[in-house]
Structure 1
Amino acid sequence: MAREVAELPPLRLIRVWPDKITAEFTADACLPAPWTGDGEIWSADPSDFEEATPDDLAPFPLLVSVGQSDEGA
């Protein structure tokens, strides 16, 4: 059975490091565990997520990588 995806505000950016994911929204959001944060900025450790299945809904299905920072994110 697919998990439900809560309605989220528009995503401003997402940064992915080997040990951390940070999501920044254009308005306050409320994300479930394993996300931690408050308001517009939320973070999680990638190892805390379960592996996705084909039935899972993607909250941002058109999200693509457009570059890499000097810090590797």
Structure 2
Amino acid sequence: MTNSLLTVAIAFSLDGKTLFTSGYEKIVKYWDLETGNCLQTLRPARPDEGMIITEAIGLAEAKVATLKGLEALEVN
């Protein structure tokens, strides 16, 4: 039971059967302590993911590179 990077916060349910973990990657995982299985993974919204920037005007190359790093797309 772990997040992919360093786990920085944990919280047990009141009944002690489940656990929440969170790390620097901003993902929260919900665990079943009896089985060790991850029941749910919660991820933050990523507003730049899938944004098409092909015809964007006035973007510096550095900004385009940053947006691509955030999963924005240039389509031909």
Q: TM-score, normalised by structure 2?
A: 0.35
More helix by share: 2
Structure of higher CA gyration radius: 2
Which fold has the larger relative contact order, with Cα–Cα distance below 8 Å and residues 6 or more apart in sequence? 1
Q: TM-score, normalised by structure 1?
A: 0.36
